[in-house]
Amino acid sequence: MAYTHSPYNEVLMMLGGALLAAPIFKRLGLGTILGYLAAGVVIGPILHQIRDGEELLGVAELGVVFLLFLIGLELKPSRLWAMRHDIFGLGMAQVVVTGLALAGLTLAFGLERWDGALIIGFGLALSSTAFAMQILDERGDINTRYGQRAFSMLLLQDLAIVPLLAVIPLLAEQAPHDTTTAFEDFLIAIGAIAALFAAGRYLLNPLFQVIARTGAREAMIAAALFVVLAAAMLLQMAGLSMAMGAFLAGVLLADSSYRHELQADVEPFRGILLGLFFMAVGLSLHLDVVFSRWLTILIATPAVMLVKSLVIYGLCRFTGSPHNDAVRIALVLPQGGEFGFVLFTAASAAGIFSGGLASLLIAIVTISMALTPIAAALSRFLIVEDIEEEMEEDFEGAGADVLMIGFSRFGQIAAQILLAGGREVTVIEHSTDRVRQAASFGFRIYFGDGTRKDVLRAAGIERAKIVAVCTQGKATTDRIVDLVQSEYPNATLFVRSYDRVHTLSLRGRGVQHDVRETFESALVFGRETLEELGVEPDDAQAIGDDIRRRDLARLELQAVEGLAAGRHMLHTKPVKPEPLVKPRKLALDEEESA
């Protein structure tokens, strides 16, 4: 069948390929991404119905742009700031360590000189934002703890392409003519970002407000597309990536009242263009390079994915991720990225290495992308079962007079007293089962780890008058107390203690308000037992109050002299109570003597 270059024919073939391949691969459990890739390979390299895959790839990258915009809409600036450690800590470590490791392997096998090895290593260290985020989106894991850490690494990788591209002229044998210095390029980039933030703060919301008043639905859609593309083009002109511009535009609009409207308007374009991007990757695959260098690709592709996975797993574990999260992240980000295409093409044009090597590297990246859904599916065999399910840490609406950390049986009873007293309570709990159970009863409860400063801040600790630590484990309670006292020294702490020793430990830390979790209930238990044995209720209450006073006096003594102090204050045998009314015989004797 002869090739006819017609945009209508190309669109029809690509839509037909997507319509056929995506449902089949989805049904097979391989994901729609692999289906789009396979459709692109069949239409282009195999049947030769579309031959300008590289040109389509440039247009199809708009799918990544819209994807990053929608992700930005879900991330408020405060939440992005809370992720800064993962972005610039974990993300930067992943790029540097992975890049150096792959560059070292390239040099060790004598595949390229040191300058080319650096470009190869750092180019392969970048992962595919489109592939990884699509997998996370299909699983509904973007807002999980591991999804956020994976996204942080992807965001840093998008930033890293800028200095990597700037290094290429320095490594080239003959640097291309550039009319601006590196410092000027830096100032231009900063100016573009500042302009984008200014527009987001002062122009975008009034713009959408005016359009919304007109009631013109199509104008709102046009405005949404305009904002995404304008932000993307602005940062591209400044030497940054289009995806980064769209992401920043989304972040700036995350607090807007039109956020949900924008999501609904952009989502259809995102889905279509992202599918087009994956098909364009398949269309641009050079099968002749794959067939001629199949052995190299067969060895290099899994080697690159294995090295990246091991480095990412190790870094995630080192920075505090549990085993299951580290495995999931490592198997979502082992592929090469779309920015690798740009980097390798630019390096080839600058003469750092040959065009044939660039095609080989692009083939490795493309095949690693195709293998990513399979690699991600393998994570289920490596994770430890019976782990606690994760939930999204969403603290929208949090903030009250009382911040309660922990909602087990102790916290639930304490919360009843506070709510009955007309007080608002913000509760954070790390058990997903307990969160769901409490929410089903109508409690205002948030999922989060109370040992993390960012969680406490998001839950409104700075506005809370009292921080009630009601966690069960002694070690967990101590970590929270130490964190609150160091970061928020003016906070008033009410702490549930485990036992007497724990109470003394807390008071040694300066905690003024603590209650042993079983003390008051044991007093009630003993008092009601006395009443059942025939003691009058008032007398039983008086005995309970006396025990409470004795216990407090012992605690004060033990805080000074040690745990063994105050033994004489303990009752170790039955106490003969003093009668409330003197005996009748004694009264008669006194009368006679008088």
Return the pLDDT at 57. 62
Sheet harboring 425-429: ordered strands across? 445-447, 425-429, 402-405, 466-469, 492-497, 513-516
3-state secondary structure of 429: strand
Return the pLDDT at 592. 45
Q: How confident is the model at residue 358 (pLDDT cuts 50, 70, 90)?
A: confident
- Find the radius of gyration of the CA atoms of the chain: 33
Return the pLDDT at 400. 76
- What percentage of the chain's residues is helix, strand, coil (to nearest 5)? 70, 5, 25
Return the pLDDT at 180. 60
Q: How confident is the model at residue 588 (pLDDT cuts 50, 70, 90)?
A: very low
Check: CB of residue 339 under 8 Å from CB of residue 379.
Answer: no
Percent pLDDT > 90 in the chain is 6
Cα–Cα distance for residue pair 220/266, rounded to 1 Å: 10
Return the H-helix or E-strand segment holding 467: strand 466-469
Return the pLDDT at 593. 45
pLDDT at 20 over 80: yes
Q: How confident is the model at residue 409 (pLDDT cuts 50, 70, 90)?
A: confident
Return the pLDDT at 305. 92
Q: How is residue 114 written in tokens? A: 């040191």
Q: What pairs with residue 496 in β-bridges?
A: 515
Looking from the CA of 345 toward its CB, the CA atoms found within 13 Å total 9
Return the H-helix or E-strand segment holding 495: strand 492-497
> Taking Cα atoms as reference points, which of 312, 333, 309, 301 lies closest to residue 134?
333
Higher pLDDT, 61 or 86: 86
Higher pLDDT, 90 or 53: 90
> Taking Cα atoms as reference points, which of 393, 376, 389, 381 lies closest to residue 447?
393
pLDDT at 175 over 70: no
Domains in the chain and their CATH numbers? 30-173+181-381 (1.20.1530.20), 405-569 (3.40.50.720)
pTM of the model: 0.53
Q: What is the pLDDT of residues 468-526, one digit of tens each?
A: 888 887 888 888 888 888 888 888 888 888 887 888 888 888 887 888 877 777 777 87
* Own/partner pairs, 310-313, CB within 8 angstroms, 24+ separation: 311/94, 311/97, 311/98, 311/101, 312/94, 312/98, 312/153
Higher pLDDT, 64 or 305: 305
Return the pLDDT at 198. 83
Q: What is the pLDDT of residues 69-127, one digit of tens each?
A: 777 776 666 666 777 888 888 889 999 999 999 989 888 887 778 888 888 999 899 99
Return the pLDDT at 58. 61
pLDDT at 385 over 80: no
Q: Which residues of 396-436 form beta strands (DSSP E)?
A: 402-405, 425-429
Check: CB of residue 57 under 8 Å from CB of residue 284.
Answer: yes
Average pLDDT of 233-246?
Answer: 76
Average pLDDT of 318-343?
Answer: 85
Higher pLDDT, 248 or 95: 95
Return the pLDDT at 95. 92
Return the pLDDT at 174. 45
DSSP state of 396: T
Of 187-196, 541-550, 553-562, the range with the lowest mean pLDDT is 553-562
Return the pLDDT at 584. 47
Cα–Cα distance for residue pair 9/441, rounded to 1 Å: 57
Count of CB atoms within 10 A of residue 539's CB? 14
Q: What is the pLDDT of residues 291-330, one digit of tens each?
A: 888 888 888 899 999 999 999 999 999 988 888 889 999 9
Q: How confident is the model at residue 151 (pLDDT cuts 50, 70, 90)?
A: confident
What is the average pLDDT value for the chain, to the nearest integer? 77
pLDDT at 13 over 50: yes
Higher pLDDT, 565 or 117: 117
Q: How confident is the model at residue 382 (pLDDT cuts 50, 70, 90)?
A: confident
Cα–Cα distance for residue pair 258/1, rounded to 1 Å: 50
